[in-house]
Chains A and B, each alone.
Chain A
Amino acid sequence: MKSLIKGTVAGMIVSVALSGMAMAQTIRMGTEGAYPPYNFINDAGQVDGFEREVGDELCKRAGLTCEWVTNEWDSIIPNLVSGNYDTIIAGMSITAERDKVIDFTQDYYPASPSFFVAMSGQSVDLKGGVIAAQAATIQAGFVAESGATLVEFATPDETIQAVRNGEADAVLADSDFLAPIVAESNGELEVVGQERIGGGIGMGIRESDGDLKAKMDKAIGSMKADGTLNTMIKKWFGDDAATF
């Protein structure tokens, strides 16, 4: 009986959705939800962070209804191309390698440096030691080519853990992610180096989805033009953050 009711309700929703297709198009926004302050799951269980705020504003300007979905970083591109969601907005740097598989909008966050972070008071060999990085990131690629031993982890949090428990000498990740962690570590962690890797951060979109890319490009452009994007960057990354 219950399933019967559910089925009927679902059927009604489907028919309503079909008839309302001409109205606002619904776009599913894929993010990782584990990379504060870019994106994270807040205490209420909702996607929050810089990208949530930017994404919601972009959808408003592009006249789209947006639904937020989280997905593991590892499989975030395969799930985009197979159509489980329509955009990747997850602190993903625009790289030539990724651009072969998906398309990127113009950047909504300018290039920022990456930090090496290690336990305080230790001399770390950044070119020959053991460096932790999240798998399939530009930082992991950088470490692999630098001559250091790369240890990869599925989530950003695990890379920090690896440094704390001595599995890795240092971690390489975006400065915006590491800075608050170092600041709140009571002096246990410190920044031991920095590196400029990669360009800005853009929204990933399927190559066959030119319409959506055009809409988002336009919306990002307008947010750059009227300064709202810079305000949001300052709110989430501090006054010293690079702006447009």
Chain B
Amino acid sequence: MFEFCVEPSQLQGLTWLSCYLTTGKHMAFYTSFGTVLLLLALTAPTALLFGFCGAVASRSAIAPLRWIGRTYVAMVRGVPDIVFFLFVPIALDQGFEYIRHMALCPEVTEPIRRGNDFVVCTAAKLPLNADPQWMHETYGFLLAVLSFAIVFGAFAGNTLRGAFEAVPKAQIETAQAYGMTSRQLFWRILLPQMWIYALPGLSNLWAILTKATPLLFLLGVEDIVYWARELGSMKTSAFSYPHPNWQLWYFLGLLVFYLLLTWVSDRAFARLMARFNLGQGRTGSDTAAAGVGR
């Protein structure tokens, strides 16, 4: 990056360090912090949406919808995360490619599964083999977002269902007595009051989600933990900047990052809690406030 970095073996002290910390590999490391934050930013709302749909479905008066909602929540909650992350992205990817294969090259008669191999025609590949690397990476990243959202959506679904049921019966009965339709009741009474009960559980989920991001590497996305391990590992003189094992320093850096992230999210949840507390009945806010993010 700097002009004086041409011959790393001649450098010493701070100059060496400044060159070392600005190598292409370190830049990739710094960028991966953005990747993790972006993953969190995309996954949280998507998971909330999945959870919301799951919760509403599992409370539905229509039986098949209720079964779907309950099965989704029960199934994902029951499978260990790591198994889920090993299986679902590959299944999703193969599912997409299978559909594309059927649509794009119906003339191919050979089976897709041949022994151990999963073979779709060239045009059905997702992304195409010839596509630039960033498209492959973006696709992998989006698969990761989807997998995370499915898993955390199930947990969020259960939290939200509990929150819906925690809204005092008297509130609902009063609304019915006023002649509200069930739709009005849902949007005007249930939904605004539900959040106060859901928030403690959701803030827990958020904390777990931030700490689950290292699972990204299982999905082929190079995240901060991957780079910290890779950069920190011992480097022989096959590399331009040889050094002994420095993983401790890199992981200390990650520790600071995760602590900072948790601290910022704790504050954000405290503010949200205060906001949802406005104009709420005493009982709900007391119980809920006792459990904020702890």
Show the binding face of A for B, using Cβ within 8 Å.
10, 13-14, 17-18, 20-21, 25-28, 33-34, 36-37, 40-46, 49, 65, 67, 69-72, 75, 78-79, 81-84, 86, 101-102, 155, 157, 160-161, 164, 180-181, 184, 206-209
Contacts and interface: CB of A to CB of B under 8 A. Distances in A.
A45 B122 contact: no
25 contacts: A13-B132, A13-B135, A18-B123, A25-B129, A36-B239, A37-B238, A42-B25, A42-B240, A43-B8, A43-B23, A43-B241, A44-B25, A45-B25, A45-B28, A75-B86, A81-B116, A82-B90, A82-B93, A82-B118, A83-B117, A102-B116, A180-B238, A184-B242, A206-B119, A209-B117
Interface in B1-45: 8, 23-25, 27-28
Given A36-B236, A44-B23, A20 B28 contact: no
Contacts of B109: none
Nearest to B125: A83
B108 to A, nearest CB: 12
A200 to B, nearest CB: 22
A83 B230 contact: no
A43 B237 contact: no
A41 to B, nearest CB: 6
Contact of B116 (A44, A70, A101, A155): A101
B66 interface: no
A208 B119 contact: yes
Closest 8 CB pairs of A and B: A44-B24, A45-B24, A157-B233, A26-B130, A43-B23, A45-B25, A17-B130, A208-B117
Interface of B: 8, 23-25, 27-28, 86, 90, 93-94, 97, 114-120, 122-123, 125, 128-133, 135-136, 217-218, 220, 222, 229-230, 233-234, 236-242, 245
Given A33-B230, A43-B8, A69-B136, 8 more contacts: A13-B135, A18-B128, A41-B230, A43-B24, A44-B23, A84-B93, A157-B245, A180-B238
B120 A83 contact: yes
A27 B136 contact: no
Contacts of A157: 229, 233-234, 245
B145 to A, nearest CB: 14
A17 B128 contact: yes
Contacts of B128: 14, 17-18
Contacts of A70: 222
Contact of A160 (B25, B118, B136, B234): B234
B231 to A, nearest CB: 9
B129 A26 contact: yes
Nearest to B104: A18
B230 A34 contact: yes
A165 B236 CA distance: 19
A81 B94 CA distance: 11
A39 to B, nearest CB: 11
B123 A82 contact: no
Contacts of B242: 184
B129 A86 contact: yes
Contact of B129 (A27, A34, A164, A184): A27
A157 to B, nearest CB: 4
A37 B23 CA distance: 20
Contacts of A207: 114-117
Contacts of B114: 207-208
Given A17-B128, A28-B129, A184 B237 contact: yes
Nearest to A80: B117
A79 B241 CA distance: 32
A138 to B, nearest CB: 20
A17 B133 CA distance: 13
A168 B116 CA distance: 36
A17 B116 CA distance: 28
A7 B135 CA distance: 11
